[in-house]
């Protein structure tokens, strides 16, 4: 779409909200899926099977991805969807009620903002935003347009995690003084690759969008875009944002910390990756803190010491807890009276000097399960009710979780501790303040 076409899109978007289809209680919501890579394919497979949704449009800058998604949709539903290369065309489609965004991080904000202005509700993958400024703009536009904006933090719809967080916030282990997140996810070296011609059927300009124009390079494309600052936020903003969101949840979802500091580096490997593969971050909330750690290299885990005693057990009948002893990707919470450990398989809590087991919950979810479906059902329900407070991880909360990742990266990249004023701004720190947003947005892809 040309710049003049882009202007026409925004002129039309001004009246789009008024023309939005009014949904009846039993109406299926017509969804456009934007970005059909690995995660977008997951979106497709879920929406295609939800009785409250219909996949009405498929949008991707890569023709091969659209063709593959169309074949999947026909196999599952026996129906075809409209296809679009440019998301703005999908947003202008009056047959689309909502969009589900699974693009790279650097597109999350602009895609959400454009969709809201076109009168569409939005489900957007995590992290909510690529930088702090973009999260603030997403929230502003969501409120101005009265659109539902759910971020894909599906842990907020996981039943056993909801129950555990309720007990934690009710004082199960006393006042929580430390909320810790772990992202010990093995990442192999990406190596080196030269720039090359853009593959046929791929719109590289649209893929880069707000990011600087660079020659096509395979390492900057499928998945590995996470490890370049132009388009990604490293693993703290990839897998890690899930666990950072749970860290905040365990503290009652506080807003801005008083300070943030992060250190680390890209260790062992010599390759083209820009983001760190080892990173430690700390956020001070005054009398309590969040600590987060990324390790992409070979490592052990943390979690439950062996042979913690269950209630009523004797020395000779001690059982090993069902939950894995070493948590590689998960959370630990430390309180005045005990501690809790949680990963995607379950949760356990221990109390007192003897670390007596006082709670365990493995819930309805088995190994390898996924609660994205529940999270999407919550989104569709809010599209009907028009009440954003019903969303399990609405943009107002989710952008703060993403912002902790951005604070950590700003501290890491500037090499010093940040003192944060609500808003946020950084006290007497021009270098850090510049990193709240991009140095420059590539026109017409401006947030």
Q: What Å distances lie between residue 62 and 34, 114, 184, 223, 225, CA to CA?
A: 11, 20, 32, 14, 15
Of 129, 97, 132, 84, which is closest to residue 110 (Cα–Cα)? 129
pLDDT digits (tens, 9 = 90+) for 151-180: 999 999 999 999 999 999 999 999 999 999
263 lies in the same domain as 144: no
pLDDT over 80 (residue 308):
no
Determine the pLDDT at residue 70: 98
User: Residue holding tokens 């990756």?
Assistant: 273
* DSSP code, position 172: T
Determine the pLDDT at residue 345: 85
* DSSP code, position 309: P
Q: Provide the phi-psi class of 75: left if phi over 0, else alpha when psi is between -120 and 50, else beta.
A: alpha
The counts of H helices and E strands in the chain are 12, 18
Average pLDDT in the 267-273 region?
A: 97
pLDDT digits (tens, 9 = 90+) for 96-107: 999 999 999 999
Residue 210, in any domain of the structure: no
172 lies in the same domain as 72: no
140 lies in the same domain as 229: no
243 lies in the same domain as 356: yes
Determine the pLDDT at residue 370: 76
CATH of the domain at 83: 3.40.50.720
Residue 79, in any domain of the structure: yes
Determine the pLDDT at residue 99: 98
Contact between residue 111 and residue 99 where contact means Cβ atoms under 8 Å apart = yes
Determine the pLDDT at residue 157: 96
Determine the pLDDT at residue 187: 97
Q: Which two tokens stand for residue 284?
A: 């001070």
Spatial separation of the C-alpha atoms in residues 430 and 332, rounded to whole Å? 35
pLDDT over 50 (residue 62):
yes
Average pLDDT in the 347-356 region?
A: 90
390 lies in the same domain as 298: no
Spatial separation of the C-alpha atoms in residues 287 and 336, rounded to whole Å? 12
Q: What band does 314 get if pLDDT is binned at 50, 70 and 90?
A: very low
232 lies in the same domain as 163: yes
Q: Is the model more confident about 6 or about 445?
A: 445
Determine the pLDDT at residue 422: 80
21 lies in the same domain as 152: yes
Determine the pLDDT at residue 15: 46
Q: In sequence order, what DSSP letters do the residues of 55-105 get, joined into one string?
A: EEEEE-SBHHHHHHHHHHHHHHHS---EEESSHHHHHT-TT--EEEE-S-G
Q: What band does 324 get if pLDDT is binned at 50, 70 and 90?
A: very low
Measure the N-to-C terminal CA separation of the chain; round to a whole number of Å. 17
Query: Domain limits at 318?
Result: 157-193+223-361
Entry pTM = 0.92
The 8 Å CB, 24+ separation contacts for 135-141 are 135/109, 135/395, 135/399, 135/400, 135/402, 135/403, 136/399, 137/109, 137/113, 137/447, 138/108, 138/109, 138/112, 138/113, 138/395, 138/399, 139/395, 139/396, 139/399, 141/112, 141/113, 141/116, 141/117
pLDDT over 70 (residue 369):
no
pLDDT digits (tens, 9 = 90+) for 178-196: 999 999 999 999 999 999 9
65 lies in the same domain as 152: yes
Average pLDDT in the 309-315 region?
A: 44
Average pLDDT in the 73-96 region?
A: 97
256 lies in the same domain as 333: yes
User: What is the largest distance, in Å, between two alpha-carbon atoms of the chain?
Assistant: 78
Determine the pLDDT at residue 303: 74
152 lies in the same domain as 164: no
pLDDT over 80 (residue 135):
yes
Peptide bond into 127 cis (omega under 30): yes
- What are the phi and psi torsion angles at 231 (to 5°)? -125, -20
Q: Please state, rounded to an integer, the average pLDDT across all residues of the chain.
A: 91
Q: What is the sign, positive or negative, of the torsion defined by CA atoms of 328, 369, 44, 10?
A: negative
Spatial separation of the C-alpha atoms in residues 102 and 93, rounded to whole Å? 19
Determine the pLDDT at residue 11: 41
Residue 97, in any domain of the structure: yes
pLDDT digits (tens, 9 = 90+) for 233-269: 999 999 999 999 999 999 999 999 999 999 999 999 9
Determine the pLDDT at residue 20: 66
Q: What band does 16 get if pLDDT is binned at 50, 70 and 90?
A: low
Average pLDDT in the 285-302 region?
A: 95
Residue 441, in any domain of the structure: no
82 lies in the same domain as 118: yes
Residue 416, in any domain of the structure: no
Determine the pLDDT at residue 316: 44
Of the residues 378, 394, 410, the one at which a domain ends: 394
Residue 402, in any domain of the structure: no
Determine the pLDDT at residue 188: 97
11 lies in the same domain as 38: yes
Contact between residue 92 and residue 84 where contact means Cβ atoms under 8 Å apart = no
Average pLDDT in the 298-326 region?
A: 56
Residue 170, in any domain of the structure: yes
Residue 343, in any domain of the structure: yes
Of 445, 447, 411, which is closest to residue 2 (Cα–Cα)? 445
pLDDT digits (tens, 9 = 90+) for 392-413: 999 999 999 999 999 999 999 9
Q: Which two tokens stand for residue 254?
A: 């506080």
Determine the pLDDT at residue 400: 98
Run of H or E residues at 405: helix 395-414
Spatial separation of the C-alpha atoms in residues 264 and 291, rounded to whole Å? 14
> Which range, of 136-150, 223-237, 383-397, 416-430, averages the lowest pLDDT?
416-430
Determine the pLDDT at residue 306: 45
Of the residues 344, 361, 378, the one at which a domain ends: 361
Number of structural domains the chain divides into: 2
Determine the pLDDT at residue 312: 45
pLDDT digits (tens, 9 = 90+) for 186-224: 999 999 999 999 999 999 999 999 999 999 999 999 999
Q: What band does 354 get if pLDDT is binned at 50, 70 and 90?
A: confident
CATH of the domain at 339: 3.30.360.10
Spatial separation of the C-alpha atoms in residues 327 and 243, rounded to whole Å? 12
Spatial separation of the C-alpha atoms in residues 321 and 279, rounded to whole Å? 30
């Amino acid at each position: 779409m040309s710049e003049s076409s882009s202007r026409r899109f925004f002129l039309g978007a001004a009246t789009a909200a008024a023309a939005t289809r009014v949904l009846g209680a039993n109406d299926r919501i017509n969804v456009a899926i934007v970005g059909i890579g690995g995660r977008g394919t997951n979106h497709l497979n879920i929406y295609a099977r939800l009785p409250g949704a219909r996949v009405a449009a498929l949008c991707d800058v890569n023709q091969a991805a659209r063709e593959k998604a169309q074949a999947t949709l026909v196999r599952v539903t026996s129906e075809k969807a409209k296809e679009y290369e440019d998301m703005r065309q999908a947003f202008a489609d009056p047959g689309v009620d909502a969009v589900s965004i699974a693009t790279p991080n650097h597109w999350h904000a602009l895609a959400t903002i454009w969709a809201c202005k076109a009168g569409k509700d939005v489900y957007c993958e995590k992290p909510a935003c690529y930088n702090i400024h973009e999260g603030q703009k997403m929230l502003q536009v969501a409120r101005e347009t009265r659109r539902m904006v759910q971020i894909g933090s599906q842990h907020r719809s996981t039943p056993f995690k909801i129950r555990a967080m309720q007990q934690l916030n009710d004082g199960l282990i006393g006042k929580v003084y430390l909320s810790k997140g772990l992202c010990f996810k093995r990442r192999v070296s990406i190596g080196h690759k030269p720039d090359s011609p853009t593959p046929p059927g791929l719109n590289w300009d649209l893929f880069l969008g707000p990011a600087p124009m660079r020659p096509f390079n395979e390492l900057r494309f499928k998945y590995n875009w996470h490890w370049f600052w132009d388009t990604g936020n490293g693993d703290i903003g990839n897998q890690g944002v899930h666990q950072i969101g749970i860290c905040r949840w365990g503290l009652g979802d506080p807003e801005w910390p008083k300070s943030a500091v992060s250190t680390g580096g890209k260790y062992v490997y010599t390759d083209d990756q820009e983001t760190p593969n080892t990173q430690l971050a700390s956020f001070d909330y005054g009398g309590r803190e969040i600590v987060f750690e990324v390790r992409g290299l070979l490592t052990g885990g943390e979690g439950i010491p062996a042979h913690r005693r269950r209630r009523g057990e004797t020395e000779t009948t001690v059982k090993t807890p069902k939950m894995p002893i070493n948590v590689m990707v998960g959370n630990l919470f430390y309180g005045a009276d005990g501690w809790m450990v949680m990963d995607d398989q379950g949760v356990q809590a221990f109390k007192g000097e003897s670390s007596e087991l006082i709670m365990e919950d493995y819930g309805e979810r088995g190994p390898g399960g996924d609660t994205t479906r529940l999270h999407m059902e919550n989104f569709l329900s809010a599209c009907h009710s028009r009440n954003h407070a019903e969303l399990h991880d609405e943009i107002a909360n989710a952008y703060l979780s993403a912002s902790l990742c951005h604070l950590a990266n700003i501290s890491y990249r500037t090499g010093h501790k940040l003192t944060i004023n609500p808003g946020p701004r950084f006290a007497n720190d021009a270098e850090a303040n510049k990193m709240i947003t991009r140095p420059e947005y590539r026109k017409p892809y401006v947030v």
